[in-house]
A and B are shown apart, each in its own frame.
Chain A
Amino acid sequence: GQQLNQSPQSMFIQEGEDVSMNCTSSSIFNTWLWYKQDPGEGPVLLIALYKAGELTSNGRLTAQFGITRKDSFLNISASIPSDVGIYFCAGRVSKTGGGADGLTFGKGTHLIIQP
């Protein structure tokens, strides 16, 4: 089956630092999504990307859909304590609207912020 390689697995950073994480795939995805999951909760959507090359921001978060459609990255600028959590990339083969296929998730990046 399809797999997403997400890195790094974990990050220990100082408050205020910028963060970068990425996902790569051996196959093409037509939708890339980035989620944050807090302990004991379901994932919450941060950014959705639908077009190769697309660069989208959501506050301090910026994500890009790779040109090859096989990769995506997420950047967090000026990290704050509430950014702590696990970040997952997810890919979907179908585009918007009609597709009813589920998501393939990366293994997650555990972000830890040191005061």
Chain B
Amino acid sequence: GAVVSQHPSWVICKSGTSVKIECRSLDFQATTMFWYRQFPKQSLMLMATSNEGSKATYEQGVEKDKFLINHASLTLSTLTVTSAHPEDSSFYICSARTAGTGGRTEAFFGQGTRLTVV
């Protein structure tokens, strides 16, 4: 099946610094990528949707200036958490989906990135 890879798997950073998380589709072209956040023992919450070459669409309550998303190619999207604070500590998960051609194409999820801000 299709593979979506996130890097890094985990990261610890100091409060006030920025962290970049990469999401790559390894064997297909992802026209749409999604970013989710999951707090411990909670559900996944959609943060934003990005289409290759265009600006990301953010969900209500998600600060676009704090969570910068770039989807510059069909195989790579990045999420940058700017000026991170301890409350940003979470499990960030991306998913990638290729454009449907009338068929049923679901997004594949990456393995997630555990961010800890100290």
Q: Do A and B come from one complex?
A: yes
Given contacts A88-B44, A101-B49, A107-B43, contact A40 B112 (CB under 8 A): yes
Contacts A100-B49, A105-B44, A106-B43; A44 near B109 (Cβ below 8 A): yes
With an 8 Å Cβ cutoff, the count of chain B residues facing the other chain is 33
Residue picked from B42, B51, B100, B114, most chain A C-beta under 10 Å? B100
Q: Write out, one digit per residue, whether chain A residues 47-70 have a CB within 8 A of any chain B CB (1) or not (0).
A: 010100000000000000000000
Chain A residues near B117 (CB, 8 Å)? none
Interface residues of B in 86-118 (CB under 8 A from A): 93, 95, 97, 99-112, 114
Q: How far is the CA of A43 from the CA of B95 in the complex (A)?
A: 10
Q: A100-B97, A103-B107 are in contact. List 12 more A-B contacts (CB 8 A).
A: A40-B111, A40-B114, A42-B111, A44-B109, A48-B104, A48-B106, A96-B102, A97-B99, A100-B49, A102-B49, A104-B46, A105-B43
Closest 8 CB pairs of A and B: A97-B100, A42-B109, A102-B46, A96-B104, A105-B43, A105-B44, A100-B32, A102-B34
